Structure 1
Amino acid sequence: MELTQSDQVEKIICPVARTVQLIGGKWTILIIRDLTSGVKRFHQLERSLQGISPKTLSERLRTLEEEGIIVRQTFAEVPPRVEYSLTAKGCDLVSVINSMRDYGEQWLCNK
């Protein structure tokens, strides 16, 4: 039986390692970054994350939803409308993203 990402994260004891396991995948932190400004639809995220495949975006969104970082809301319209937003658990990652932005601006982007 294969362990899900959630099961794998639960087996890690170090809180830093657990956080990296959760948000360290390619595109994941950028999806969270984009959702910090509010609710987004799939195509908005896809446009913002130039180079991400629809399959990868779907997988990352599904994982973030399973982990309780984002919530997916579906509207019964034609065509169907789906929106993604951060949960309280996801909003708590904003300070991590802001720290990464500050570090990048200070040490990486102004050279």
Structure 2
Amino acid sequence: MKDATPTTRPWADPVTGQCPVADTLRILGGKHGAKILHCLTAGERHFLELQREMDGVSRKVLRAQLKEFEESGMVARTPKGDARQRVGYSLTRKGSALGDILGQLYDWQQTFG
């Protein structure tokens, strides 16, 4: 008979000792990180579109969070090359996968919150 105890895996990298879960939560830990990713799940947004959707978030904070998402590989920044020098932001495959996980967290919260 098999042991009914569920198997767990360590959350820390066995080589570096770093915890990728903690790193991801740190990136999302800002007040607006999850909201920004949620906005981008609907598709590419220009900076001003994001700012309008993120009512109450300063340009500085939004820019810093987008830069951190870009550096972590979750968001792609695409210059549009038009006269207004617009830039589009969209989720990468990695960011989209995290968006799916955040959707599951939302469902969990609605069920057990």
Question: Into which bin does the TM-score normalised by the smaller protein fall?
Answer: 0.7 to 0.9
TM-score computed with the length of structure 1 as normaliser: 0.79
Confirm or deny that 1:68 pairs with 2:107: no
Gaps of 5+ in 2: 1-15
SS of 2:73's partner is: coil
Q: Kindly state the Cα deviation for residue 98 of structure 1 after the two structures are TM-superposed.
A: 0.8
**Which structure: greater helix fraction?**
1
Give the ranges of 4+ consecutive aligned residues of structure 1 lying more than 4 Å apart after TM superposition: none
What does the per-residue CA deviation read over 1:18-75, in whole Å, with 9 as the maximum and x for residues that have no partner?
2212222221111111111110111111111111001100000111111111000002
Corresponding residue for residue 99 of structure 2: 94
Which runs of structure 2 are paired with 1:1-111 in the superposition (5 Å)?
13-108=18-113
Q: CA deviation at 1:12?
A: 6.2
Alpha-carbon distance in 2 for matches of 1:12, 1:22 = 18
Indicate the structure (1 or 2) with the bigger Cα radius of gyration. 2
Q: TM-score, normalised by structure 2?
A: 0.78
Partner of 1:8: none
Percent of counterpart pairs with the same letter?
Answer: 35
SS in 2 for 1:50: coil
Give ranges in structure 1 of 5+ residues lacking alignment: 1-10
Letter paired with 1:70: V
